[in-house]
Amino acid sequence: MKIKQLSVFIENKTGRINEVTRILGVNNINMTAFSLAENSDFGILRLIVSDVDKAVKVLKEAHFGINITEVVCFSCPNVPGSLSAVLGHLAKEDVFIEYMYAFSQGDTANVVIRPTDIDKCLEILKTCHCNIIDRDSLSQ
């Protein structure tokens, strides 16, 4: 299942991340997963949120640059080697991963990936019986 992810472009200055989280909070939009990458001039805050359309609207109204991309999320056991096994299946089939981030909840690790070929990636994950999860399942 494909999940819509927001990429929010923010200046590297104090309070900008808080401004994004404040705007989402006052608009009752929950952040289910996020990652922050930065360079010398700006950061990219990648988010999976409870209401994509509303988040885009309120963040654009606050003059944030937004990009929407599709990502894949799967879960695997939170044990050594589990992620490597899944990534091995993808590499064997030449699926390139642009970026990824992950978080664990007890015995389960949830992984968000941005492959260059999302449909091929999903097909391989299904063939390997990976637990592909949707946006709503991330918050459980």
- Are 88 and 64 in the same domain? no
The neighbour count for residue 38, using CB atoms within 10 Å, is 11
CA 38, 10, 45, 93 dihedral sign is: negative
pLDDT at 15 (0 to 100): 87
Percent of the chain with pLDDT over 70: 98
- Are 99 and 58 in the same domain? no
- Are 51 and 90 in the same domain? no
User: 21, 73, 27, 22: which is closest to 45 by C-alpha?
Assistant: 21
pTM value is 0.88
Q: How many domains does the chain have?
A: 2
State yes or no: pLDDT of 129 exceeds 90: no
Q: How far from 70 is each of 2, 27, 118, CA to CA, in Å?
A: 6, 23, 8
pLDDT tens digits for 8-39?
Answer: 999 888 888 999 999 999 999 999 999 998 87
Domain region containing 100: 72-138
Of 70, 91, 111, which residue sits at a domain end?
70
pLDDT at 1 (0 to 100): 87
